[in-house]
């Protein structure tokens, strides 16, 4: 039989809500935990064919590492979906995040960078497009690709991949067509 054998689910609104710079770190972490619990329950409807990726709030790297471990070991997530832009002024190459990269490397699951069409971070490129009559079109055509390029540069030139050579990283939906 031809078809989709296994599907991996990525977050939508859950990622948007944890991108708010102004959220208290504890609140953002609680939202991530709630989303991960829901996603795990959703994937349990057919666990052989449906896999999930967890999310982490990037406001506190140590808490993000704890939630990544819980999402993988307790909830069965196969990766951690992260936002490419700075959250609360923190970049993914900041050494504060080394605790998260070490955790993901040890868990042998990828950090999956994926944008969101409604990011709340002030540093998100789409914030510059707010109010434009073609906001949605411009946002999808430019924001995803540019933010992923910046995140890739941050991970490579910021030394993360040098410090964690076994870390698996994916940069997803970098402006490829929705059709496939």
14-25: pLDDT as tens digits? 777 888 889 999
Residue 179 lies in a domain: no
Taking residues 101-129, report their average pLDDT. Answer: 86
With a pLDDT cut of 70, the percent of the chain lying above it is 94
Residue 2 lies in a domain: no
| Residues whose CB falls within 8 Å of the CB of residue 33, separated by 6 or more in sequence, listed in order | 67, 70
| CA atoms within 13 Å, Cβ hemisphere of 105 | 14
**Does residue 108 have a pLDDT over 70?**
yes
- Give me the number of domains the chain comprises: 1
**Does residue 61 have a pLDDT over 70?**
yes
59: containing domain: 7-172
Residue 177 lies in a domain: no
CATH number of the domain encompassing residue 145: 3.20.20.140
Residue 168 lies in a domain: yes
Taking residues 94-108, report their average pLDDT. Answer: 98
Query: Over the stretch 62-97, which tens digit does the pLDDT of each residue have?
Result: 999 999 999 999 999 999 999 998 999 999 999 999
**C-alpha closest to that of 87 among 123, 116, 52:** 123
Residue 145 lies in a domain: yes
Residue 57 lies in a domain: yes
Name the pTM for this structure. 0.90
Q: What are phi and psi of 172, to 5 degrees?
A: -110, 145
Residue 180 lies in a domain: no
Average pLDDT of every residue of the chain: 89
């Amino acid at each position: 039989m031809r078809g989709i054998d296994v599907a991996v689910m990525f977050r939508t609104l859950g990622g948007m809500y944890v991108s708010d710079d102004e959220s208290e770190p504890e609140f953002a972490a609680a939202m991530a935990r709630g989303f991960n619990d829901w996603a795990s329950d959703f994937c349990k409807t057919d666990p052989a064919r449906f896999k999930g990726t967890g999310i982490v709030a990037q406001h506190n790297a140590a808490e993000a590492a704890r939630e990544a471990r819980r999402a993988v070991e307790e909830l069965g997530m196969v990766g951690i979906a992260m936002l490419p832009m700075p959250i609360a002024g923190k970049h993914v190459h900041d050494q504060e995040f080394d605790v998260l990269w070490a955790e993901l490397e040890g868990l042998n699951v990828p950090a999956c960078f994926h944008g969101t069409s409604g990011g709340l971070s002030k540093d998100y490129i789409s914030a510059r497009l707010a109010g434009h009559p073609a906001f949605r079109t411009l946002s999808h055509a430019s924001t995803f690709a540019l933010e992923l390029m910046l995140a890739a540069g941050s991970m490579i030139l910021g030394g993360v991949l040098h410090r964690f050579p076994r870390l698996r990283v994916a940069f997803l939906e970098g402006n490829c067509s929705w059709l496939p």
